[in-house]
Chains A and B, each alone.
Chain A
Amino acid sequence: MKFGILVSEGPYTHQSSDSAYQFAKAALEKGHDIYRIFFYHDGVNNGTRLTTPPQDDRNIVARWSEMAEKYNIDLVVCVAAAQRRGIADPEEAKRNGKDADNIAPGFRISGLGQLIEAGIQCDRLVTFGE
Chain B
Amino acid sequence: MEDEMMEEGGVIKKFMYINRTAPYGTIYALEALEVVLIGAAFEQDVSMVFIDDGIYQLKKDQDTDGIEMKNFSKTYRALEMYDVEKLYVDKQSLEERGLTEDDLLVDVEIKTTDELTALMEEQDVVLSF
Question: CB within 8 Å of B: which residues of A?
Answer: 6, 40-41, 80-81, 84, 111-113, 115-117, 119-120, 123, 125, 127, 129-130
Q: Which residues of A contact B124 (CB under 8 A)?
A: 119
A6 to B10, CA, bound (A): 23
Given contacts A41-B28, A115-B39, 17 further A-B contacts (CB under 8 A): A6-B127, A80-B34, A84-B27, A112-B39, A113-B38, A116-B15, A116-B39, A116-B42, A117-B42, A119-B15, A119-B124, A119-B125, A120-B13, A120-B125, A127-B127, A129-B128, A130-B28
17 residue pairs of the A-B complex, CB under 8 angstroms, read A6-B127, A40-B31, A40-B35, A111-B38, A112-B35, A113-B38, A113-B39, A113-B42, A116-B15, A116-B35, A116-B44, A119-B44, A120-B13, A120-B42, A123-B1, A127-B128, A129-B128
Report how far A108 CA is from B63 CA in the complex, Å.
Answer: 37
A84 to B69 Cα, complex, angstroms: 14
Which chain A residue has the least Cβ–Cβ distance from B1?
A123
User: CB < 8 Å: which of A84, A113, A119 contacts B13?
Assistant: A119
* Contact across chains for A116 and B31 when beta carbons are under 8 A apart: no
Residues of B within 8 A of A111 (CB): 38
Contacts of A112 in B (CB 8 A): 34-35, 38-39
A38 to chain B, nearest CB (A): 10
Is the CB of B11 closer than 8 A to any CB of chain A?
yes
> Would B34 and A120 count as touching, CB distance under 8 A?
no
Q: How far apart sit A113 and B10, CA to CA, in the bound complex (Å)?
A: 15
CB within 8 Å for A81 and B128 given contacts A112-B38, A112-B39, A117-B42: no
